[in-house]
């Protein structure tokens, strides 16, 4: 982890396997997010990847090990893995501080889901996104079914999920999947600059606004007004 003033930069660090997510990396990410949430000197978080990729998704070799477990253990292994994954995604999405995914390369499967669960996505001009689950006979299980339609609309989300096709940065920007494109050399600097803009005001007001906005698609207007009144009184 690196900290620039009030911005934490978290880098997934398994570049030899394109930052594929295994249990160890997932646990480290959860611990760091928890630390960021409790450190008052940090007002925003940038998530990126080391090397040429953001995150290639789940670690296939680790998945194969779970499938080689004794009879009766395979299903519980998968269930436990999904629970851990869902916990990490929920924790990242629920962070009260602004989160920015700085996507430096490929973001596939779970990697794409992790980017989508952040508040903002800034991508390098060589970044690529893919909801590639169906190509392995799987459904998006890392939050893509929830986050992607909120980004690009229902029909476009279906097209991207059903096809599993690759989306390069210019198209991703055009369809609203990401918020900005940067050159690879200035990606982190641009992400930190974005974080600075998103933390110019009160951190409490930002946290409360984020919490209410994240519920806005599920709640009727009168309940959102009620939440707003409660928040304004704090």
Question: How would you write 136-173 as a 3-class SS string?
Answer: HCCCCCCCHHHHHHHHHCHHHHHHHHHHCCEEEHHHHH
Q: How much is the pLDDT for 218?
A: 93
Q: How much is the pLDDT for 51?
A: 95
Q: Is the pLDDT of residue 74 over 80?
A: no
Contact yes or no for 84/138 (Cβ under 8 A): no
CATH number of 2-198: 3.90.226.10
Q: How much is the pLDDT for 81?
A: 77
pLDDT mean over 43-68: 83
Taking each helix axis as running N to C, give the angle between helix 144-152 and helix 154-163, from 0 to 180 degrees, rounded to the nearest 10.
Answer: 130
Confidence of residue 131 (pLDDT cuts 50, 70, 90): very high
Where do the structural domains in the chain lie, given as residue ranges? 2-198, 203-232
pLDDT over 70, % of the chain: 93
Q: Is the pLDDT of residue 76 over 90?
A: no
Q: Is the pLDDT of residue 64 over 70?
A: no
CA gyration radius, the chain? 18
Q: Is the pLDDT of residue 63 over 90?
A: no
pLDDT mean over 185-213: 96
Q: How much is the pLDDT for 58?
A: 84
pLDDT in tens, 178-194: 999 998 789 999 999 99
Contact yes or no for 100/118 (Cβ under 8 A): yes
Mean pLDDT of the residues in the chain: 93
pLDDT in tens, 80-104: 778 888 999 999 999 999 999 999 9
pLDDT in tens, 135-182: 989 999 999 999 999 999 999 999 999 999 999 999 999 999 999 999
Q: How much is the pLDDT for 1?
A: 83
Report the range of poorest mean pLDDT among 17-26, 60-69, 87-96, 170-179: 60-69
pTM (2 d.p.): 0.91
Q: How much is the pLDDT for 82?
A: 81
146/157 Cα distance (integer angstroms): 10
Q: How much is the pLDDT for 184?
A: 79
Cα distance from N-terminal residue to C-terminal residue, the chain: 32
The single-letter DSSP state of residue 132 is G
DSSP for 18-35 reads TT-B-HHHHHHHHHHHHH
Q: How much is the pLDDT for 117?
A: 97
Q: Is the pLDDT of residue 69 over 70?
A: no
């Amino acid at each position: 982890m690196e900290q620039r003033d009030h911005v934490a930069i978290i880098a997934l660090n398994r570049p030899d396997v394109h930052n594929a997510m295994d249990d160890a990396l997932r646990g480290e990410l959860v611990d760091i997010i928890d630390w960021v949430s409790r450190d008052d000197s940090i007002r925003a978080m940038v998530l990126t990847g080391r090397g040429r990729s953001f995150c290639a998704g789940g670690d296939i070799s680790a998945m194969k090990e779970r499938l080689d477990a004794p009879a009766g253990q395979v299903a519980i292994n998968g269930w436990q893995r999904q629970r851990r994954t869902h916990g990490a995604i929920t924790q990242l999405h629920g962070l009260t501080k602004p989160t920015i995914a700085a996507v430096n390369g490929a973001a596939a499967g779970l990697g794409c889901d992790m980017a989508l669960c952040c508040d903002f996505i800034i991508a390098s001009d060589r970044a690529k996104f893919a909801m590639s689950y169906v190509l392995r006979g799987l459904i998006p299980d890392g939050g893509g079914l929830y986050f992607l339609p909120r980004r690009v609309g229902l029909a476009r989300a279906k097209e991207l999920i059903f096809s599993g096709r690759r989306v390069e940065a210019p198209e991703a920007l055009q369809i609203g999947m990401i918020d900005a494109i940067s050159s690879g050399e200035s990606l982190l600097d641009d992400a930190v600059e974005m974080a600075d803009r998103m933390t110019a005001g009160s951190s409490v007001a930002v946290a409360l606004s984020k919490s209410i906005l994240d519920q806005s698609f599920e709640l009727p207007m009168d309940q959102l007004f009620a939440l707003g009144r409660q928040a304004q009184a704090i």
